[in-house]
Structure 1
Amino acid sequence: MNTLLEVRNVSKAYKQVQAVNKVTFSIGSGESVGLVGESGSGKSTIARLILALDQADDGEIVLLGHPLNELKEKQLRNLRKHVQVIFQDPHSSLNPKLPIWKSIIEPLENFPEVTPEFLKDIRHSSRLMMERLIDMVGLSKRVLDCYPHELSGGQKQRVAIARGFSLQPSLLICDEPTASLDVSVQAQILNLLKEMQQTLGVAYLFISHDLPSVHYISNRILVMKQGCLVDQFDVKDMFSVERHPYTRQLVSSAMSLEY
Structure 2
Amino acid sequence: MHNASTKVCFVAVAFALAACSANARPDDDEATGSTQSALTTTVLEAESATGAGVVVNDATASNGQLRAISTSYASATQTFTTTGTLVSGVVRLRRSGTCVSGDPWYIVRIDGLSVAAGNALPATWTDVPISGSLAIGTHTVEYYDRHTDAGCSIQFDKLTLTLNNPPPPPITLTLEAEGAVGSGVVVSDATASNGQLRSFGAPYVGATQAFVTSGPLGSGSVRLRRSGTCTGPNPYFELRIDGVAHASGSSVPAAWTDYPIGGGLGAGSHTLEYYYRYGNPGCALQFDKATITYQP
Q: TM-score range by the shorter chain?
A: under 0.3
RCO higher in 1 or 2 (8 Å CA, sep ≥ 6)? 1
Radius of gyration: which is bigger? 2
The TM-score normalised by the length of structure 1 is 0.20
